[in-house]
Structure 1
Amino acid sequence: MLAPDLPPGTGPEREVPAYTADVFSARTSQYVVLVFVINEGEKIRSQIVQMHGDEAGVDVVVADGGSTDGALALEFLRQNGVTALLTKTGPGKLSAQMRMGLAFAMDEGYDGVIVVDGNGKDDLRALPDFIRLLDEGYDHVQGSRFIPGGRAVNTPLSRLVGVRMLHAPLISLASRRRHTDTTNGFRAYSARLILDPTIAVFRSIFVTYELHYHLAIESSRASRFRTTETPVTRTYPITGKVPTKITPIRGNSHVLAVLFRAVVGRYRH
């Protein structure tokens, strides 16, 4: 089915990119895992197979940014227990995919969302911890490699330095709460946070990495939300190209620009 830019029954405060939805089954769980992907090939297929084999007790929805590699064949997804494939046809990158996936999850009535990249770097054995923390009433759960129990495996030195010395300290300063792993996309959000009108996630201003930073900062600044970190493992390959969509110069410059805008409150509603 084709979703319009503004889904039926919503006003201008909910801006969601156009997308198509291939729904294979109805909602069966309280929470949903949203997997963000674009052209990840065998990595996303292996991740989906692994998630199907695990018994975390949550639905899985793939939020695709417009892959062209053929890895997300509908029959493969259906056979491996995926609830739905959302394919963005409108503009935007990661944050647009997030708005698409979060809107679908809220429309389906999920009480919370766990988000994870589809590039195979994250150890999915942490899923039960995210579920437990959502059950305990937390609104923003950040997966962290840098707290007790977490592991950063083969992390490129530039990434390590950037996160520990720049990214996390700035997010911590802006949010008035210590954050240790602010570039890690393995997180969980409660429906209460997603639907909060002052957080206002469904705005077209969120295009690339803005929404992750905005949610981390604003959920910590507002005393009505409960936030925490949970240990996770993220593994980079020992050899070969670093699996990332961020280019060394232009991409990193954009990330820094988005970070500084988030820190000074440019995305605040």
Structure 2
Amino acid sequence: MTSRQIPVDETGWDVPQGDVHVLRERASRYCILIPVINEGERILGQLRAVQSHGFGVDVVVADGGSTDGSNDPELLQELGVRALLIKRADGKLSAQLRMGIAFALREGYEGVITVDGNGKDDVAALPRFVAALDEGAGFVQGSRFVPGGQAINTPLDRRLAITLVHAPVTSLAARHRFTDTTNGFRGHSRALLTDPRIAPLRDVFDSYELLAYLPIRAARLGYRCVEVPVTRAYPDDGQIPTKIHGRRGELGLATILARAVRGRYDPART
């Protein structure tokens, strides 16, 4: 499959500036988008796992400006990465996702599967996301809490926060049941990502806003939303690979969720 830019309406897009390293030709209909910053061996091990499985899905790494050497283009090319995007502007997770989604849409991918780059997710589940998108899903949520999923070493406070607060509140707002709404292992159709009623490429999405916004907005607009089982494992040593720390981080997530529930991130009506 020859790589080429696909015309797309970019009206209203706000994409962070950065470096784009295209390391190989496009070879699939979907891409795996991995946002990452300073994950070192965790992201490299994850990329080796994707490569060894031979899923046949292109890998795009959206790096937030790592300084640990894990974003070396030559190294990532050896690990099968199709493109490396390095953000040079302000912004956190959602800014990296915007950069990656814009690249994917311009390249003509039919869907984008996102997965965190901290090594907690078992990438063996990727074919389930591909199958769900092929079957017409607009939004696919990976869940460790549905039959077939596994939650390994999940800290008790996080499990309770997800199952008793975040997932029920999201489900109520979406009018659709979700069980693992902080999980970044997700699939998104091209139709969803290009829908002006969703408009994910806006600068209001800077940190974790897209994670809260997309399931609610997708379900409310009638997109087919499904969950697929995944395995998410925390290290045995009790260390928690995360960029969310302390009560301030938890309060920030709660504030973002409340705004998503109230429709604060919905595009302005014209």
Q: TM-score, normalised by structure 1?
A: 0.95
Report the alpha carbon displacement of residue 240 of structure 1 after superposing the two structures with TM: 3.8
Distance 2:23 2:122 in 1: 25
Residue type matched to 1:13 in 2? G
Give the corresponding residue for 2:229. Answer: 231
Distance 1:243 1:253 in 2: 19
Give the corresponding residue for 2:252. Answer: 254
Distance 1:9 1:154 in 2: 43
- The DSSP-based 3-state class of the residue aligned with 1:266 is coil
CA contact (8 A) 1:152 1:235 kept: yes
Give the corresponding residue for 2:143. Answer: 144
Distance 1:163 1:241 in 2: 19
What count of residue pairs does the alignment treat as equivalent? Answer: 261
Which of the residues 238, 255, 265 maps onto 2:263?
Answer: 265
Where do 5+ consecutive residues of structure 1 fail to align? 1-7
- 2:200 aligned with 1:201, yes or no? yes
Residue type matched to 1:33 in 2? I
Give the corresponding residue for 2:165. Answer: 166
- The DSSP-based 3-state class of the residue aligned with 2:264 is coil
Distance 2:250 2:189 in 1: 29
Report the alpha carbon displacement of residue 65 of structure 1 after superposing the two structures with TM: 0.8
Distance 1:70 1:157 in 2: 33
Give the corresponding residue for 1:5. Answer: none
- The DSSP-based 3-state class of the residue aligned with 2:145 is coil
Percentage of matched positions with identical amino acids: 53
Distance 2:190 2:158 in 1: 31
Residue type matched to 2:204 in 1? I
Report the alpha carbon displacement of residue 76 of structure 1 after superposing the two structures with TM: 1.2
Change (3 A) 1:13 1:147: same
CA contact (8 A) 1:45 1:72 kept: no
- The DSSP-based 3-state class of the residue aligned with 1:249 is helix
Change (3 A) 1:228 1:20: same
Distance 2:179 2:41 in 1: 30
Change (3 A) 1:9 1:231: closer
Give the corresponding residue for 2:4. Answer: none
Moved over 4 A (4+): 8-12
Task: Report 1:68-147 matches (<5 A).
Answer: 68-147=67-146
Q: Deviations over 1:187-222 (max 9, x none)?
A: 000000000000011110000111121110011111
- 2:7 aligned with 1:36, yes or no? no
Change (3 A) 1:180 1:91: same
Change (3 A) 1:193 1:85: same
Residue type matched to 1:255 in 2? L
CA contact (8 A) 2:8 2:106 kept: no
Report the alpha carbon displacement of residue 9 of structure 1 after superposing the two structures with TM: 8.4
Change (3 A) 1:266 1:240: same
- The DSSP-based 3-state class of the residue aligned with 1:141 is strand
